[in-house]
Structure 1
Amino acid sequence: MDIKISGKNIETGAAFQRHAEDGLQDVVNKYFADAIAAAVTLEKTLAGFTVKTKVNLTKRIDLESTGQDTRDAHIALDAALSHAEKRLRRHKRRLKSHRNNLTDQEVAEQTITASLSIYESAASNTAPPLSTETPNSNTDIDTSYKDSDALPIIAQLSYEVELLTVEQAVMQLELSDEPCLMFRNASHLGLNLVYKRNDNMIAWVDPRGNRGDI
């Protein structure tokens, strides 16, 4: 597994790099020996140190974790590694049965690349038509829509919608640091959503009301 280590507002020394490489290799190989690549980012702020790790377990499944400490970068790294190990341990069985055996063509056939334009205003429920053009970047601000009463929030992004069972979608959401995941339900091909609630539970939204695949 190729591991890239970088620093933000700080230089990563040799000791930290060895700690990150050895620690992440040990954690990942214990539960999933076929990981593709990984990245470790160390950031220093006024509040202390933050370490973020991202491991490409397969072409479609990423493992993300974060650790923080006010004084020591190595302690922040250990916290991130511990977080990653807990997630891998929880999903060890599912990961083994969810190996990436699909060809690139099969993955492409099961994936929709959606272009979204979201217009949100506290004062009005009206919005311009959704854009059908693929944006040049993940986030692009369009200033053409104005609301005199509230500041509009406009987001444009390219989003890959995968064909998954609900169990697979929940696993991918829990392995990542993302708040939500949109997917095509493998049982009926409709769009579904799983998201993390404020009470740490995971909610599942299925507009079709089909509950037959779990």
Structure 2
Amino acid sequence: MQVSITGRHVELSEPLKAYVTDKLQHLKHSFDHVMDVHVVLSVEKFRQRCEVTMQAHGINIHGSDETEDMYASIDGVVDKLNRQLKRYRSKLHRHQSGGQREGRLIKVSHRILDVAAEREELSEDHQPATLRHETIDAKPMSVDEAVMQLELGSRDLLFFTNGQTEQLNAVYRRPDGTLSWIEPESV
């Protein structure tokens, strides 16, 4: 497990680094596939915050905690991550079908467009400029696995290939915090 620690407005002393590393080693007992861990420790007035982002078995898991004591924040975020990893591991055991998941991988194109807000009327042939373009892999998985990945990760939208229907689906987090599932209907 590769651990990197960053400090923002806090001096990273050797005992603090050792405490973080020791606490994160306990996560390996919950889940063996933790690869990279990035820890950000920050202090703002009386708030001491610990944020941890980890890559484990193809997923990203994010957790944070904020208290008045840095060591308590570290303990709190490790407890949260431990619960998430245990939940993920139990769901993984329930959903494993004894080998490589069947299904096809779909590439999804995602564009962020620059819509001219200052113009009142747009011509019919107006094409907005592309600010950013990325391609996302929609991996085959069940709806439960997609929801679990969305909950564990730091993203608000996840495209996936539904393992039952072999169609492109999406799950996303709404502004009120609830999750929604988009599935195409047959016509």
Fold shared, TM-score > 0.5 on shorter chain = yes
Q: How does 1:137-176 map to 2 (within 5 A)?
A: 142=131, 156-176=133-153
How many Å separate the matches in 2 of 1:174 and 1:50? 21
Structure 2 residue 84 is matched with structure 1 residue 87: yes
Match of 1:78 among 58, 75, 78: 75
Paired residue for 1:6?
A: 6
Aligned equivalent of 1:145? none
Q: Comparing 5-14 with 156-165, which one deviates more in the overlay?
A: 156-165
1:110 aligns to 2:109 (yes or no): no
| Offset at residue 162 of structure 1 (A) | 2.4
CA RMSD for the aligned pairs? Answer: 3.2
CA distance in 1, matches of 2:116, 2:184: 24
The one-letter code of the counterpart of 1:45 is: E
**Across the two proteins, how many residue pairs are aligned to each other?**
178
Counterparts of residues 4-153 of structure 1 (less than 5 Å): 4-26=4-26, 28-46=27-45, 48-58=47-57, 60-69=58-67, 71-96=68-93, 110=105, 112=107, 114-119=109-114, 128=127, 131=130, 142=131
Matched, 1:180 2:178: no
Offset of 1:74 from its aligned partner?
1.6
- In the aligned structure 2, how far is the partner of 1:62 from the partner of 1:186? 21
Secondary structure at 1:208 match in 2: coil
- 2:115 & 2:32 partners in 1: Cα distance? 43
Distance 1:33 1:188, change over 3 A: same
- The aligned residue for residue 168 of structure 2 is 191
Per-residue deviation at 1:47?
Answer: 6.0
Identify if the C-alpha distance between structure 1 residues 11 and 195 changes in structure 2 by more than 3 Å, giving closer, same or farther: same
Structure 1 residue 34 displacement after superposition = 2.5
Whole-angstrom CA distance in 1 between matches of 2:141 and 2:129: 26
Could you tell me whether the CA contact under 8 Å between 2:158 and 2:171 is conserved in 1?
A: yes
SS of alignment partner, residue 17 of structure 1 = helix
Structure 1 runs not aligned, ≥5 long: 132-141, 143-154, 210-214
Deviation of residue 9 (structure 1)? 3.2
Shift of 1:86: 2.0
Q: Distance in 1 between matches of 2:48 and 2:140?
A: 37
Output the CA distance in 2 between the equivalents of 1:16 and 1:89. 26
Structure 2 contact 60–153 (Cα < 8 Å) conserved:
yes
Q: 1:188 to 1:30 in 2, by over 3 A?
A: same
| Secondary structure in structure 1 of the residue aligned to 2:11 | coil
If each structure's strand is expressed as a fraction of its own residues, which one has the higher value?
2
Change in 2 beyond 3 A, CA 1:130/1:87: farther
TM superposition shift of 1:190: 2.8
Q: Distance in 1 between matches of 2:135 and 2:109?
A: 6
Deviation at 1:125, TM superposition (A): 10
Distance 2:117 2:46 in 1: 32
